[in-house]
Amino acid sequence: MITRKNPDELAKMRRAGRVVAETIAAVAAAVRPGITTGELDTIAEHEIRSRGAVPSFLGYRGFPATICTSINHEIVHGIPGRKVLSEGDLFKLDCGAIVEGFHADSAVTIPVGEVAPELSKLIETTERALWAGIEEVRVGNRLGDIGHAVQTVAEGAGFSVVREYVGHGVGRALHEEPPVPNYGDPSRGIRLEPGLVIAIEPMVNVGGKETVLLEDGWTVVTEDGSHSAHFEHTVAVTPEGPEVLTAPAAH
Ligand code: MG
Ligand code: MG
């Protein structure tokens, strides 16, 4: 079932989005060679709870932490712990928060110190692909317009788009209908209507698009070991166009 949010619910999601944006900014500021992913998780939980919100991921299907931390060839859903960030790493941080029962969900890829030029290009391309998708979040457009825009940017730069994990509706549940693929045909899929809120989250690989789930049951990696980048925003469809609920500049 696809739910459309009323103005009152959208206001709560806007506040959840702001908590997520501020938390991501705080964690990003702490990223440096030598810090552990567990330390970054502690920062994130403090930032979320100090704003009166609740982490979305902690306990979600048994996930043991506040944020997902994925490094280099890890695509998404890495578990924070003793892993230490090193100069040249690609660090991905995924974060969700709940305010008055409503979730917001966002992710960024952060270079640790200086990274190889190809990885800078991967980060820039993946973020640009996300924003190309966001630009299509307009009343009357279809879901396929978003995926097509994302895919065109990512593949146009010579990278591949992960198929096995996709974006999603978001609201009272972290993951709601509809699935939001980062690929597809324009003018296909459901029509975008005001009040629909979706998380758009391209995962883009240097090498092939194939993925493998590790034995911890969470961490998803590229099959060929190539690096991967991930960006995500929670976006509301409004009559005026896309409203990016997790964008820091929007507040
Ligand atoms: Mg996320
Ligand atoms: Mg998500």
Average pLDDT over residues 27-54: 98
> Does 2 fall in a domain?
no
- Structure token pair of residue 207: 């090498």
Q: CA–CA distance from 98 to each of 66, 174, 180 (Å)?
A: 12, 9, 21
Tell me the C-alpha to C-alpha distance, in Å, between residue 232 and each of 82, 109, 166, 190, 201: 25, 9, 11, 21, 4
Domain count, the chain: 1
Is 1 within the bounds of a domain? Answer: no
pLDDT digits (tens, 9 = 90+) for 51-71: 999 999 999 999 999 999 999
Domain with residue 207: its CATH number is: 3.90.230.10
The β-bridge relationship of strands 220-222 and 74-76 is antiparallel
**Using one digit for the tens of pLDDT, what is the confidence trace for 83-134?**
999 999 999 999 999 999 999 999 999 999 999 999 999 999 999 999 999 9
Q: How far is the CA of 200 from the centre of ligand 2 (A)?
A: 7
At residue 7, the 3 state secondary structure works out as helix
Enumerate the β-bridge partners of residue 71.
Answer: 91
Gap from CA of 170 to ligand 2 centroid (Å): 8
pLDDT per position as a tens digit, 222-249: 999 999 999 999 999 999 999 999 998 5
What average pLDDT does the segment 167-181 reach? 98
- What is the domain extent for residue 205? 7-244
Give the distance (Å) from ligand 1 centre to CA of residue 158: 24
pLDDT level of residue 251 (50, 70, 90 thresholds) = very low
Question: Phi/psi of residue 202, each to 5°?
Answer: -65, 135
Q: How many whole angstroms from 106 Cα to the centroid of ligand 2?
A: 7
